[in-house]
């Protein structure tokens, strides 16, 4: 039984790897044959070489940690704000009414459009970058939390009334667990938005981070550095998402069973 499961998992991973492996192989062959200009698109071997050098010099770690640190800070602030405001708007009609117009107007503004203003306002240092991430992760968490809270099963609320539970008990035992799947979706979208925002912010004005690495590679005509940056974004995004999914399986144990 267990061996079968492992076997199945290996097969699944292999299937998922078919396209990437094929793409890299084609890329390498075309590069070797000189079919593409190496100064524009270096082959995988060159990129791995650049990657190795950066790790050896310690610059890779520095850039990655800089970006991750910003994402963590911004996401923590943004998602907490989204959670708190989302829960209060979901619970209290008045809060929802007060916020409706503001939310409707601000939500369509892409966080990236705020970067110039944030730089003017908060300076070119860390604060402005973290602020972009805060905005980027705030919206998905807010909207999904509000939606989750509002869609609490009314029949469960009736049960709470029959058992004469107070507001706090209802919030903790019924409303929050009901909303948890939606909140989790919000957090997942929020973290991926945070990751997008950090790269953009770093490309516009920074001296460190993955986004900086990419714009640096472009300015110095080092396409291999540039590609190291792009591939890192993809891989880190994948890692973050799979961590969140694992977490979701553990925290929302009842959803998988339903």
Q: 184 vs 195, which CB is nearer to other proteins?
A: 184
Give the shortest CB-158-to-other proteins separation in angstroms: 6
Distances (CA, A) of 122 to 130, 200, 201: 10, 17, 13
Among the listed residues 57, 61, 173, 249, the single contact to other proteins using CB under 8 A: 173
According to the binding rule CB under 8 A, does residue 156 interact with other proteins?
yes
Among the listed residues 2, 4, 164, 219, the single contact to other proteins using CB under 8 A: 164
Query: Dmax of the chain from CA atoms?
Result: 76
Give the shortest CB-124-to-other proteins separation in angstroms: 46
The token duo for 67 is 């970006």
Contact segment (CB under 8 A) with other proteins among 43-51, 68-76, 156-164, 242-250 equals 156-164
Q: Is residue 208 within 8 Å of residue 63, measured between CB atoms? A: yes
Number of chain positions touching other proteins (CB under 8 A): 17
Among the listed residues 102, 162, 168, 250, the single contact to other proteins using CB under 8 A: 162
Among the listed residues 7, 161, 167, 246, the single contact to other proteins using CB under 8 A: 161
Q: 181 vs 229, which CB is nearer to other proteins?
A: 181
Other beta carbons less than 10 A from residue 183's beta carbon: 25
Q: What is the dihedral of CA 165, 169, 172, 176, to 10 degrees?
A: 30
According to the binding rule CB under 8 A, does residue 61 interact with other proteins?
no
Q: Given 3-state DSSP classes, what are the helix, strand and coil percentages for the chain, each rounded to the nearest 5?
A: 85, 0, 15
């Amino acid at each position: 039984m267990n061996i079968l499961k492992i076997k199945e998992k290996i097969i699944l991973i292999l299937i998922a790897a078919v396209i990437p492996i094929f793409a890299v192989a084609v890329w390498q062959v075309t590069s070797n044959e000189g079919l593409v200009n190496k100064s524009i698109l270096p082959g995988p071997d060159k990129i791995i070489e650049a990657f190795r050098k950066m790790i050896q010099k310690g610059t890779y770690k520095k850039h990655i940690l800089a970006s991750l640190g910003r994402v963590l800070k911004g996401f923590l602030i943004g998602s907490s704000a989204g959670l708190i405001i989302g829960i209060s708007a979901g619970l209290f009609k008045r809060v929802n009414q007060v916020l409706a117009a503001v939310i409707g107007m601000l939500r369509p503004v892409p966080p990236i459009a705020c970067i110039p203003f944030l730089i003017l306002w908060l300076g070119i240092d860390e604060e402005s970058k973290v602020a972009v991430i805060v905005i980027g992760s705030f919206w998905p968490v807010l909207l999904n939390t509000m939606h989750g809270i509002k869609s609490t099963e009314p029949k469960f609320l009736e049960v709470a009334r029959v058992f004469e539970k107070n507001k706090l008990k209802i919030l903790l035992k019924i409303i929050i667990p009901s909303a948890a799947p939606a909140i989790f979706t919000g957090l997942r979208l929020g973290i991926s938005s945070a990751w997008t925002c950090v790269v953009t912010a770093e490309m516009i004005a920074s001296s460190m981070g993955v986004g900086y690495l990419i714009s640096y590679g472009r300015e110095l005509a080092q396409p291999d550095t540039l590609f190291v940056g792009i591939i890192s974004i993809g891989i880190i995004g994948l890692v973050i998402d799979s961590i969140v999914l694992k977490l979701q399986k553990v925290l929302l144990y009842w959803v998988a069973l339903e």
